[in-house]
Structure 1
Amino acid sequence: MLDHGAGSDGGGDANAQVAGKLFPADPAARSDGRDQELTGVAASGSTVVAVGGEAHPGTYRGVFVVSTDGGRTFKAAEVKGLDGGAPGDAEVPRAVDGGQGGWIAIGTRPGGGVVWTSDDGQVWQRQPDAVGDAFGSGGRVTQIVRTDKGFLAIGEHSRKGDFSDAVPAVWLSGDGKSWEALTGKQVGLPLRGKVSLEAAAASSGVVLMGSAHTPSPGKPPFRRAWRSTDGGRTWTPAKIPAPKGTRGLRVGGGEAGLVAVREVKSGKSIYGQVYTSTDANKWQKGGRLQAPGYQWVHQLLPVDSGYAGIVQLSRDLLVVRSSDGRSWQNAGTLPGASNRALLGAAAGGQHTVLVGHDAANGDLNALLAVRDARGTEIPVDPLKIPGAFHNDQAVTAVGGTDTHVVAVGSTGGDAAIWTSADGSAWSRARFPGGMSRPALQRLSGVVHGGAGWLAVGDGGGPPRRPLVLTSADGSVWKPVDTDPMFDPKGSQALATIGAAAGPAGYVVVGEDGPSGAIWFSPDLKTWQRGGGLRRNDLAAATNANRWVRAAAGGTFGFVAVGGMHNPKSPGIGRPAVWASTDGKKWRMQELPLPAGLAQAWFTQVAAKGNVLVATGEGLGSSGTDGFGFVSSDGGRTWRETDLPAPGSAGSVRVTAVTATSQGFAMTGTTGSTGMSDVVTWTSADGTTWQAKAPGGDVLAGTGRQEITGLAPFKDRLLGVGRTVTPSGEQPVLWNRPAS
């Protein structure tokens, strides 16, 4: 485990540079290479906030955008992590609401929920994990509503985590920072068959909620409405009129009162019958929602002085507005498309904002459509909002020979490889036939051996698929993951994550669903799946998953590292190593948990002669921390080694390790996930390490910096990685003397 008492002697980063121009993108790229969506939106007065996420191989980042002029223009909101830094990867808001008195957003983080709060919708503060823990790993929030008691969130909860067993869920909070969860029967609704909560609204101390019910097979589904006068803690039926021949139900409302719509079939046509109420107890008949091709109402929205609705027509979406629920006016349309999905809408002042995603041209982009009160489109391109979304240009790993060096990553959502003869000037490698595939790709590892170059990464999904490329010279590459050995089994994810080369050939390591996966090739032409010497060396047993992250080769054969679950302590990750003399048969060894960590697993390994260094990360009382093990006998026995870190370091991760002519070198990060700087280590024997903090704007500036790939090249040590700031993300190239 890391010794946080060690000091730092600086070191400078004069040879670290932002490298977006050094690693050219594909000029023929068809898209930005990332999938974006906006999943929630809220409006109050002239302030509009939309939230969502952006996916690229390996992670999913949250997005907040805000408008202070009713939706005419947007900017990226300022989002602060726990320590004031940038938000962490994989922390994604899903729903948002707010107004005078404060704003709140709720989403997901690995292993649980996450909550953000804001005074004005423009600056957001991530709340401690304990606040989000109320939503658990099985909670999914679909809507947040401000009530006279605070906030109400509705959604569903799954004990399994895959929502095949989902039950309705309600969360209550007086201030947005302390939440109480009510799930299943605790919600207080009858739960015969499948029940889901669809929408909620609040007005004058009353909360109105709509639910969808799917009873036992053979019985038709139906919808109901409920009212609460205690902020959503208890519910009684809201008896909205249902004349003969009506079907469906949608509820909404706000300051102007509560509103509901039922569909009515009249001859061959359908219209929406509106009802309004001040208390959800007594209802008055309002106007009709009628338009050619009327189908149903998606959503009923509050407006400062009335109501708005999003109506599904035969093809298009229609926006309607009313000041009293009796007279409704057309307020614009959104042309329909089979690849477009509406995920949320909000009406503020004179504008209506619709959000979701659009999969036109095979690239999933965020949908952000704005209409004024007269129905005129206000042009907004979410991809042009400064700092909101990032183009894909990533350099993740690097490998070298005596004469040239190869870096791998992705641009435009496709695999990308660059070569250099001097480590300074880079050119794109060629893929005869192209590397464009339906899913987003990213290479994460590259090695050189006797038969040439091997690169591996994420082939996208779902389900996740292998990405394996080979090259004789590093300049021209071809895929070999078309070999049947790399075919996934049904819908089970199959991932290729790391690679190694040795005297016997090459190995690729990864995951096959809950099991570890290893492939071997003596010549980069023929491939076979590696197997365990014992039944569960690679194959997962009950409550005992395996995952393989990295490998190293040498005269000893091959060693792979990763993690496993011991069936005696399910759910607790433990470090594991696999050893093989030929790359075909593997034996797993479980190592002890590092001191001070409750669970841990390996992510990196490097070899120099018979000495191997394996590093990883784990969870302790103070959060994430790094650790290291060393073996001096080719991976047969291991002992823990101390990795000193700067005394001011908070959370520490090891991001890359390599062997050098002088021993070993590593890079990592210190600080929070949202405000991390680069730290380096060197060692002559893999046991005693010296730490440095390079500093400088590129490796220790605002935002997140990390070096994820290392390789010795000539008399230098090259590193590649990224820097992420509020204005965007850029690749980084770093080099220093090898000694």
Structure 2
Amino acid sequence: MGSVSVRQVLVVLGLLAVLLTGCERVTPSGGDHPRAVQPVWRPLTLPVPPGAPGRPLLRDAAACAGRWYVVGGVADPAGATRPAVWSSVDGAIWSVSRLVPSTFYGRQHLLYAAACRDGRLAALGTASGGVHGNPRIGSWVEGADGVVREVAAPFERFGGPRAVSAARLVAGPSGWLIVGSRVDGAAVWASTDGREFTLRAGLPELAGDGRGRTAAYDGLATGSGWLVVGAVLPAGGTGLAPLAWTSRDGLGWRRAELPTASGRGQAQRVVSVGGAVVAVGPAGDRFAAWRGVVDPVADGAATRWREAGGFPAAGPGVATVSGLVAVGSGLLAVARAGAGQVLWYSDDLGGSWRSVRMPVVVADTGETAVAVAAQGERLLLIADDGRGPRVWWTPVSGFAADEGDKSLPSTWN
């Protein structure tokens, strides 16, 4: 069997396991539910990118060192896309960043993942291409002049017959890390400057082995290196089980299993808050939150995990967590399920959760997106409901005070 066929079989197995998990989901009924958090959502206006007319697409947001970023693209009436980045120094007044693509597919990229470090952005973009329409993924980085440039890279770095996904981009004191998967399981791409990334695939403990096929979904920088979360499809199994990995240098990895009552689940997003790390993802018929404590050891950072709490998954379909951010001393998760894309808030490191009223209803389809970013006293919310993008901000203190909802419709100029 050729390598492309192997990849296709593995991807199908992974999707089958996720779908089986989704088919078992039921909506909880009865019982008391905590009152929803109702922030004061205040609309923001993003400028229209230059160039041919089209519909702006928003996909991710990031904030660091006093700067804010929103990434995505613009789709013309025929569906063709081009990349776009918006930036702000205060989170209130925004400008369109200048982009310089360097490849044929880069000019068509939709930027879908963003991270920043020391006030400088890096992003991942994708476009369909080639005979089979496979994703053509590339990276972008902001220079000292504020221009965001595509970084030309060999096709095999992110693509090729062994490619599966490049899911998330994270930044830390030691550099940048892309988290994703190859045919042989979970993989990472490491960089010290956000420009040149080195693929690290097939690594012991991180990649799949006789125990099963692994996949990585998200990560973060720790005081002693990197932490990555994901899942494993056990050999001969039909349900994914959540995993976490830690490493000092991105080369040697230690694996930890995350406990679940059903033995099934995926750790899809992770964040550091209050001296702990919290991962969130679907587990059986609900979403689970796992709390970890990072302990320095001789050859890496081993993490002890326990299930802290969770929140319900409303409606049928495949449930996913597409965002997780620290909001002051609390957590805000973006969850996708049959009922649409929703927000959940925890003020006790994932132990208990309250739903958060959004200023707009966003269905869960391939054409929609919700993302959040937080910094200081400000939380940024972007929502693309498939008809048009909208952006809001709210004070972080509003989550603790739980002010009444005074949201207003946003406009796009």
2:257 aligned with 1:642, yes or no? yes
Correspondence for 1:471: 88
User: Structure 1 554/687 Cα, relative in aligned 2: closer, same or farther at 3 Å?
Assistant: same
User: Structure 1 724/432 Cα, relative in aligned 2: closer, same or farther at 3 Å?
Assistant: same
Counterparts of 1:82-231 in structure 2, within 5 Å, are: 82-83=23-24
User: Structure 1 587/434 Cα, relative in aligned 2: closer, same or farther at 3 Å?
Assistant: closer
Correspondence for 2:400: none
CA distance in 2, matches of 1:623, 1:458: 37
User: Structure 1 472/504 Cα, relative in aligned 2: closer, same or farther at 3 Å?
Assistant: closer
Correspondence for 1:501: 116
Task: Report the alpha carbon displacement of residue 530 of structure 1 after superposing the two structures with TM.
Answer: 3.1
CA distance in 2, matches of 1:434, 1:458: 9
Task: Report the alpha carbon displacement of residue 708 of structure 1 after superposing the two structures with TM.
Answer: 2.8
User: Structure 1 82/551 Cα, relative in aligned 2: closer, same or farther at 3 Å?
Assistant: closer
Corresponding residue pairs, total: 299
CA distance in 2, matches of 1:601, 1:84: 22
The one-letter code matched in structure 1 to 2:186 is P
Correspondence for 1:734: 345
CA distance in 1, matches of 2:53, 2:335: 24
User: Structure 1 536/546 Cα, relative in aligned 2: closer, same or farther at 3 Å?
Assistant: farther
The one-letter code matched in structure 2 to 1:475 is A
Counterparts of 1:553-702 in structure 2, within 5 Å, are: 553-564=171-182, 572=183, 574-590=185-201, 591-592=203-204, 593-594=207-208, 599-617=213-231, 619-620=233-234, 621-645=236-260, 647-650=261-264, 652-671=265-284, 676-685=285-294, 687-695=303-311, 699-702=312-315
Correspondence for 1:551: 169
The one-character-per-residue Cα deviations of 1:10-40 (angstroms, maximum 9, x if unpaired) are xxxxxxxxxxxxxxxxxxxxxxxxxxxxxxx
User: Structure 1 630/701 Cα, relative in aligned 2: closer, same or farther at 3 Å?
Assistant: same
The answer to whether the Cα contact below 8 Å between 1:563 and 1:574 also exists between their aligned partners in 2 is yes
- TM-score between the two structures when normalised by the length of structure 1: 0.36
Counterparts of 1:58-97 in structure 2, within 5 Å, are: 82-83=23-24
The one-letter code matched in structure 2 to 1:663 is A
User: Structure 1 550/82 Cα, relative in aligned 2: closer, same or farther at 3 Å?
Assistant: closer
The one-character-per-residue Cα deviations of 1:574-627 (angstroms, maximum 9, x if unpaired) are 322111111112211103534566544322111122332112345443335244
The one-character-per-residue Cα deviations of 1:268-325 (angstroms, maximum 9, x if unpaired) are xxxxxxxxxxxxxxxxxxxxxxxxxxxxxxxxxxxxxxxxxxxxxxxxxxxxxxxxxx
Correspondence for 2:407: none
CA distance in 1, matches of 2:253, 2:72: 28
The answer to whether the Cα contact below 8 Å between 1:537 and 1:588 also exists between their aligned partners in 2 is no
CA distance in 2, matches of 1:721, 1:656: 10
Counterparts of 1:435-454 in structure 2, within 5 Å, are: 438=54, 441-443=57-59, 445-450=60-65, 452-454=67-69
The one-letter code matched in structure 2 to 1:580 is S
Gap regions ≥5 residues in structure 1: 1-80, 87-421, 565-571
The answer to whether the Cα contact below 8 Å between 1:517 and 1:548 also exists between their aligned partners in 2 is no
User: Structure 1 549/495 Cα, relative in aligned 2: closer, same or farther at 3 Å?
Assistant: farther
Q: Pick 1 or 2: higher relative contact order, CA cutoff 8 A, min separation 6.
A: 2
User: Structure 1 505/433 Cα, relative in aligned 2: closer, same or farther at 3 Å?
Assistant: closer
Task: Report the alpha carbon displacement of residue 662 of structure 1 after superposing the two structures with TM.
Answer: 1.3
The answer to whether the Cα contact below 8 Å between 1:563 and 1:575 also exists between their aligned partners in 2 is yes
Task: Report the alpha carbon displacement of residue 724 of structure 1 after superposing the two structures with TM.
Answer: 3.1
The one-letter code matched in structure 2 to 1:601 is A
The one-letter code matched in structure 2 to 1:489 is Y
User: Structure 1 463/428 Cα, relative in aligned 2: closer, same or farther at 3 Å?
Assistant: same
The one-character-per-residue Cα deviations of 1:338-381 (angstroms, maximum 9, x if unpaired) are xxxxxxxxxxxxxxxxxxxxxxxxxxxxxxxxxxxxxxxxxxxx
SS in 1 for 2:347: strand
The one-character-per-residue Cα deviations of 1:383-427 (angstroms, maximum 9, x if unpaired) are xxxxxxxxxxxxxxxxxxxxxxxxxxxxxxxxxxxxxxx993222
The answer to whether the Cα contact below 8 Å between 2:232 and 2:241 also exists between their aligned partners in 1 is yes
SS in 2 for 1:623: coil
CA distance in 2, matches of 1:85, 1:423: 26
CA distance in 1, matches of 2:69, 2:253: 28
Task: Report the alpha carbon displacement of residue 486 of structure 1 after superposing the two structures with TM.
Answer: 7.5
Task: Report the alpha carbon displacement of residue 524 of structure 1 after superposing the two structures with TM.
Answer: 7.7
CA distance in 2, matches of 1:558, 1:701: 35
The answer to whether the Cα contact below 8 Å between 2:246 and 2:303 also exists between their aligned partners in 1 is no
Task: Report the alpha carbon displacement of residue 467 of structure 1 after superposing the two structures with TM.
Answer: 4.3
The answer to whether the Cα contact below 8 Å between 2:218 and 2:230 also exists between their aligned partners in 1 is yes
Structure number with the higher strand fraction is 1
CA distance in 2, matches of 1:437, 1:454: 22
Correspondence for 1:270: none
SS in 1 for 2:267: strand
Task: Report the alpha carbon displacement of residue 437 of structure 1 after superposing the two structures with TM.
Answer: 6.4
The answer to whether the Cα contact below 8 Å between 1:530 and 1:583 also exists between their aligned partners in 2 is no
SS in 2 for 1:538: helix
Task: Report the alpha carbon displacement of residue 433 of structure 1 after superposing the two structures with TM.
Answer: 4.1
Task: Report the alpha carbon displacement of residue 736 of structure 1 after superposing the two structures with TM.
Answer: 1.9
The one-letter code matched in structure 1 to 2:192 is T
SS in 1 for 2:86: strand
Task: Report the alpha carbon displacement of residue 497 of structure 1 after superposing the two structures with TM.
Answer: 2.1
User: Structure 1 618/632 Cα, relative in aligned 2: closer, same or farther at 3 Å?
Assistant: closer
Counterparts of 1:214-363 in structure 2, within 5 Å, are: none
CA distance in 2, matches of 1:516, 1:687: 32
| Identity across matched positions, percent | 20
The one-character-per-residue Cα deviations of 1:148-169 (angstroms, maximum 9, x if unpaired) are xxxxxxxxxxxxxxxxxxxxxx
CA distance in 2, matches of 1:494, 1:639: 34
CA distance in 2, matches of 1:427, 1:484: 32
Task: Report the alpha carbon displacement of residue 460 of structure 1 after superposing the two structures with TM.
Answer: 5.2
CA distance in 2, matches of 1:432, 1:522: 21
Structure number with the higher helix fraction is 2
The one-letter code matched in structure 1 to 2:254 is R
The one-letter code matched in structure 1 to 2:151 is G
The one-letter code matched in structure 1 to 2:173 is T
User: Structure 1 611/663 Cα, relative in aligned 2: closer, same or farther at 3 Å?
Assistant: farther
